Amino acid sequence: MVYQVKLPAFEGPLDLLLHLIRVNEVDIYDIPIARITDEYFQYLALLEQLDLELAGEFLVMAATLVYIKSKTLLPADPSATEEPFEEDPRTPLVDMLLEYQRFRAAAETLSGREDQQRQFFFRSTPLEIPTREGPLEVNLFDLLTAFREVLERAKDQPVLEFLTRPVSTGERMVAILDRVATVEASVTFESLFPPEADRWLVIVTFLALLELLRQGSIRVRQQVDFGDIVVMRAVA
């Protein structure tokens, strides 16, 4: 006779611990650590028997449980009189469990909203509206040409170097995204390079712009030939 056993799928060690706490009807603030540790190991053994690959996190948690158990078994250090109120060794674990439990509940509510929202149907592609003179998409060479102009300007800046931490591409990416925070907000290519910017800032800003383009976070457009290049946020 073949029995089919259906095991609840656990998302990780915290999920499994919360399950054990619930089925054993114990208090999360007062976990009987020996009992829960035993059950935890029984479950790991079961997983091994079933030849399921054990994620490393489950073993890390096993070690943590054993550590807490050993701490609770040890008598308090009689010499440590200055600190009579020692922290419960379970506290960090309980805090983790509580926090994880909160987010698990938050995930539940998101899941509920997902179900609700799936009853609304929207248009997913734009109507095909023929455009006669739409904005021109800017190619890399247009960008490089514009960049050379900015770089020319930066050349005249007197260079006075201090050993400060230079601005990074990542920071400039964030700064650019802030400038075009909404779909409607757009800025000109020129305005991303303040006149006082030195060569370093100009280059880093340009790299940041290219990276954002590659990610598809922004778009660059040119309304007319040789006109201002406009940078805008890509529609999500």
The residues binding another protein (CB under 8 A) are: 11-15, 27-30, 55, 57, 61, 76, 84-86, 88, 96, 99-111, 113-127, 129, 168, 170-171, 173-174, 182-184, 215, 217, 235-236
| Minimal distance, residue 106 CB to another protein, in Å | 4
Which contacts of 197-202 are long-range, i.e. CB under 8 A and separated by 24 or more positions? 197/154, 197/157, 198/154, 198/157, 198/159, 199/151, 199/154, 199/155, 199/157, 199/159, 200/166, 200/167, 201/167, 201/172, 202/147, 202/150, 202/151, 202/154
Residue closer to another protein (CB basis): 63 or 160: 63
| Minimal distance, residue 61 CB to another protein, in Å | 7
Task: Round to whole Å and give the CA distance between 166 and 201.
Answer: 8
Residue closer to another protein (CB basis): 2 or 127: 127
For 83, the 3-state DSSP assignment is coil
Task: Round to whole Å and give the CA distance between 205 and 176.
Answer: 8
| Minimal distance, residue 47 CB to another protein, in Å | 15
Angle at 52 between CA 2 and CA 94, to 5 degrees: 115
176 exposure class (CB count in 10 Å sphere: 0-12, 13-18, 19+): buried
Residue closer to another protein (CB basis): 166 or 195: 166
Residue closer to another protein (CB basis): 11 or 149: 11
Residue closer to another protein (CB basis): 46 or 174: 174
| Minimal distance, residue 109 CB to another protein, in Å | 6
| Minimal distance, residue 115 CB to another protein, in Å | 8
| Minimal distance, residue 134 CB to another protein, in Å | 15
Residue closer to another protein (CB basis): 137 or 171: 171
The kind and range of the H/E element at 149 are helix 140-155
Instruction: Output the six-digit token pair for 165.
Output: 């931490």
Angle at 194 between CA 202 and CA 192, to 5 degrees: 70
